Amino acid sequence: MKFTELKWKSRDGVEILAQCREPDSQPPKAVVCLLHGLGEHSGRYAHVAEAFNREAYILVGADLRGHGRSGGARGHVDLIEDFMRDIDGLLGQARARYPGLPLILYGHSLGAILGLYYGLNHRPDLKGMIATSPALHSALENQPMKVLAAKVLGSLMPNLSLHSGLDPKSISRDEKVVRAYVNDPLVHYRVSLGFGKIILGVTKWTLEHAGEFTLPLLLMHGKADVLAFPSSSIEFAAALKDKCTLILWDGAYHELHNEPEQGEVFNVMTSWMDALLKD
């Protein structure tokens, strides 16, 4: 595996860090651009990159603003377009570094929300998209006081930060994954009221416009996910009917790429991408 680190400034001056992992023994088929979940970072996907590299796919993962080693207040964003421009930047960096290769967007959890919203709003020139565990319906729905605070105070005190309420034990059935997550100094549990209000609006809009999504889409969700409810993927896929590949994993928690059956998950992803590139 060849590893390279990239840094660039977003339009508003926030520094974005990304990691490129590419196969060193065979020519790459395509570039997969990763958008990670809330509170985590792209460094947690090195094993995903290894699986992709074995099948000749490059993985370029950016730390979202307010996450990992990128700049910005932890768990905060002023406007949803800040995230959208950062995705523009990630795709632009990938195109510049790997000219001529097809691009596939891969979003997990929050990253899947942002990817789906981006696909609907920006109609990007991509080969397709993989979305895992999109939190279009989530555990936040069981925290009505936080929802109310975000809706009422999100504009008045947008920078006020709260604990996300995420229970690390719910991310994976693998105890080693949970321990690593808890001990990771780059993982945080913060979310601002402004961020919460923005994402509530984005998830609502994304579900309402799901039927307008035009990119080839692989949508996967664990049936035992208590962070991002499986109904998120089921509802989005239903709006697309046969224009989307939906796979639900029995017994799986939130991070499909970190579950005991991760080998099967990676095989589904790479097989789907192989078929996509043949079209």
The answer to whether residue 225 is catalytic is: yes
Q: Residue 19 in contact with residue 90, Cβ under 8 Å? A: no
- Read off the tokens for 45: 């996907």
Q: Residue 246: helix, strand or coil by DSSP?
A: strand
How many whole angstroms separate alpha carbon 83 and alpha carbon 194?
14
Q: Tell me whether strands 15-22 and 2-9 are parallel, antiparallel or unpaired.
A: antiparallel
Q: Residue 17 in contact with residue 69, Cβ under 8 Å? A: yes
The answer to whether residue 254 is catalytic is: yes
The answer to whether residue 138 is catalytic is: no
Given 109, 133, 138, 233, the catalytic residue: 109
Q: Which residues pair with 58 in a beta bridge?
A: 31
Given 225, 232, 233, 257, the catalytic residue: 225
Cα distances (Å, whole numbers) of residue 217 to 104, 109, 213, 233, 249:
10, 15, 9, 11, 17
How many whole angstroms separate alpha carbon 127 and alpha carbon 120?
14
Cα distances (Å, whole numbers) of residue 22 to 19, 61, 71, 112:
10, 11, 25, 22
Given 36, 108, 188, 254, the catalytic residue: 254
Residues 6+ apart with CB under 8 A from 209: 120
Catalytically annotated residues? 109, 225, 254
